[in-house]
Amino acid sequence: MTLFEAVQGYVDQAADRLGLDASVREVLSRHRREVAVSVRVPMDDGSVRVFPGWRIQHNGARGPYKGGLRFHPNASLDEFRCFSSLMTWKTALLDVPFGGAKGGVRVDPKALSERELERLCRGFLAAIEMVIGPERDIPAPDVNTGPREMAWMLDEYSQRHGETPAVITGKPVGLGGSLGRDAATGRGALMCLDRIVHHRGWSRERISIAVEGYGNAGSWFAILAHQAGYRIVAVSDSRGAVWNPEGLHPREILAHKRETGSVVDAKHAETIEREDLFGLDCEVLVPAALEESISAANVERIRANLILEVANHPVTPDADRRLADRGITVVPDILGSAGGVTVSYLEWVQNHQHARWPEDKVNQRLQALMEAAVDAVLDRANRSAISLRAAAYEIAVERVAEAGRLRGWYP
Ligand code: GLU
């Protein structure tokens, strides 16, 4: 099964339950446009290398295409097909007026110098420039990209089209980025968790959390959850994990990671194997790294009661079924990871208005949008006795199907 087929499986199940007819299902199962490019990068040593890149636009029924750009040595067409479709359902579930897209380059960015990376960003933007635009398709950061990369791409686009801040989100604040965007994915995930904790009548202090992945989303989630009173007992990155059942200090660990390149050997914690994080005794497990980190290979080890998906597609469909059988609640990625694109929407609105909002206003709007989505998902899951993932897909698929119908795409 490909990554895209895994997500499409959830869409098909929702379409079955909603009784959608064949033409609607046909449209929802296809990508509107797939652009494959070769990015030429003059290297510092005088040679030239060519990297494959993609921008995949899945469905634009609800608005301009929207989604991040990732630089990763394993990036592939299949994963961008999967992630662009996830963006369609994520933006629909949060009710922000976008469709879904994703893209990036197959490259190990850590092996490039800063100047080579800049040339890669500019070259990639030049290669996809004709299919993006502030009302057409709006890229953003994803794995291994951030404000610096967005700034180079904005500059490249604006040199060709005139200053256009709304063409890309996740920019540095000094170039029209939004306050709060950097922390938004982690903050949105925490808002989800808080809402569920509130509905279930639990208390934060008694909840221990393990976080897989200490990049932008995982580290912000850990820092903010710790501030809110939750106990972070373990965090990991690609090199290993650190654990302290009494609780870790996420900011200290981030400082250690910045200094040494990894969370491994951070003070006041025991260093353990990366995979051992999944079997720890904790209440909540937060996969915030790459796709398919929870699969048949480790699902039986999991002891958490709740899984909060902050990465895109971290749980394989097999593992998802197994977790459901074991009564473990899963907050799906299209909800748990939606804080980033939600603040991207708020950034885009500010750019259109030539306005700058204070961070409080951004966080309040994020909270209102996240809570509305969480409440809608919990309500539908309860009423129909289905999983949170099934409920989230039902809501999203219904909205996208309806927008297509209003546009006259099918009877
Ligand atoms: N890359 C993030 C995601 O997967 C954010 C996308 C955006 O802000 O457009 O949701």
181-196 residue pLDDT tens: 999 999 999 999 999 9
Distance 269 CA to ligand 1 centre (A): 32
Q: Is the backbone of residue 67 left (phi > 0), alpha (psi -120 to 50) or beta? A: left
Q: Is the beta carbon of 182 within 6 A of some atom in ligand 1?
A: no
Q: Is the beta carbon of 145 within 6 A of some atom in ligand 1?
A: no
Percent of the chain with pLDDT over 70: 100
Nearest CA residue ID for atom 10, ligand 1: 341
Q: Does residue 194 share a domain with residue 150? A: no
The verdict on residue 23 lying in a domain is no
Distance 265 CA to ligand 1 centre (A): 31
Q: 236 has which bridge partners?
A: 212, 241
Nearest CA residue ID for atom 7, ligand 1: 341
Distance 64 CA to ligand 1 centre (A): 14
Q: Does residue 126 share a domain with residue 217? A: no
Angle at which helices 317-325 and 3-18 pack, to 10 degrees? 50
CA 44 centroid distance within chain: 33
Structure tokens belonging to residue 155: 């500059």
Task: State how far the Cα of 393 lies from the Cα of 86, in Å rounded to an integer.
Answer: 10
Q: How far apart are the first and last CA of the chain?
A: 31
Q: Does residue 68 share a domain with residue 120? A: yes
Contact in structure between 315 and 388 (CB atoms under 8 Å): no
Q: Specify the pLDDT at position 212.
A: 98
Instruction: Name the residue of 182, 344, 370 whose CB sits within 8 Å of the most ligand 1 atoms, as the mutation to test its pocket.
Output: 344
Q: Does residue 210 share a domain with residue 159? A: no
Q: Specify the pLDDT at position 235.
A: 98
Q: Is the beta carbon of 343 within 6 A of some atom in ligand 1?
A: no
86: helix, coil or strand?
Answer: helix
pLDDT in tens, 365-375: 999 999 999 99
Q: Specify the pLDDT at position 404.
A: 98
Q: Does residue 129 share a domain with residue 73? A: yes
Confidence band for 298, pLDDT divided at 50, 70 and 90: very high
What mean pLDDT is reported for the chain? 98
Q: Specify the pLDDT at position 337.
A: 98
Q: Is the beta carbon of 311 within 6 A of some atom in ligand 1?
A: no
Q: State which amino acid sits at residue 386.
A: I
pLDDT in tens, 74-112: 999 999 999 999 999 999 999 999 999 999 999 999 999
Whichever domain contains 78, its CATH number is 3.40.50.10860
Q: Does residue 126 share a domain with residue 84? A: yes
Cβ-based neighbour number of residue 303 at 10 Å: 13
C-alpha gyration radius of the chain = 20
User: What is the pLDDT averaged over residues 198-227?
Assistant: 96
The verdict on residue 268 lying in a domain is yes
Q: What is the domain count for the chain?
A: 2
Whichever domain contains 323, its CATH number is 3.40.50.720
User: What is the pLDDT averaged over residues 119-148?
Assistant: 98
Task: State how far the Cα of 184 lies from the Cα of 134, in Å rounded to an integer.
Answer: 21
The verdict on residue 171 lying in a domain is no
Nearest Cα residue to 360 out of 172, 180, 223, 94 = 180
Domain ends where: 118, 134, 164? 164
Confidence band for 136, pLDDT divided at 50, 70 and 90: very high
Would the CA dihedral through 252, 262, 169, 188 be positive or negative? negative
Residue-range definition of the domain harbouring residue 69: 30-164
Q: Does residue 102 share a domain with residue 72? A: yes
Helix H or strand E segment including 346: helix 339-353
Helix H or strand E segment including 263: none
Q: Specify the pLDDT at position 172.
A: 98
User: What is the pLDDT averaged over residues 210-214?
Assistant: 98
Q: State which amino acid sits at residue 267.
A: K
Q: Specify the pLDDT at position 39.
A: 98
Active-site residue, 102 included = yes
Q: Specify the pLDDT at position 128.
A: 98
Q: 49 has which bridge partners?
A: 41
The verdict on residue 55 lying in a domain is yes
373, HSE (Cβ side, Cα atoms, 13 Å): 34
Contact in structure between 15 and 25 (CB atoms under 8 Å): yes
Q: Does residue 127 share a domain with residue 259? A: no
User: What is the pLDDT averaged over residues 338-350?
Assistant: 98
Task: State how far the Cα of 139 lies from the Cα of 151, in Å rounded to an integer.
Answer: 12
Distance 69 CA to ligand 1 centre (A): 8
Q: Specify the pLDDT at position 35.
A: 98
Q: Specify the pLDDT at position 79.
A: 97
Distance 300 CA to ligand 1 centre (A): 30
Q: Does residue 153 share a domain with residue 240? A: no
The verdict on residue 362 lying in a domain is no
The verdict on residue 4 lying in a domain is no
Q: Is the beta carbon of 314 within 6 A of some atom in ligand 1?
A: no
Q: Specify the pLDDT at position 58.
A: 98
Q: Does residue 133 share a domain with residue 73? A: yes
Parallel/antiparallel/unpaired status of strands 33-42 and 231-237: unpaired
Nearest Cα residue to 218 out of 202, 194, 238, 198 = 238
Q: Specify the pLDDT at position 72.
A: 98
Q: Is the beta carbon of 169 within 6 A of some atom in ligand 1?
A: yes
The verdict on residue 224 lying in a domain is yes
Q: Specify the pLDDT at position 198.
A: 93
Task: Please pick, among 66, 90, 102, 257, the residue that the annotation labels catalytic.
Answer: 102
Q: Does residue 109 share a domain with residue 77? A: yes
Contact in structure between 82 and 313 (CB atoms under 8 Å): yes
Q: Does residue 188 share a domain with residue 160? A: no
Q: Specify the pLDDT at position 225.
A: 98
The verdict on residue 64 lying in a domain is yes
Nearest Cα residue to 238 out of 223, 210, 257 = 257
Q: Specify the pLDDT at position 354.
A: 97
Domain ends where: 331, 359, 375? 331
Task: State how far the Cα of 126 lies from the Cα of 117, in Å rounded to an integer.
Answer: 14
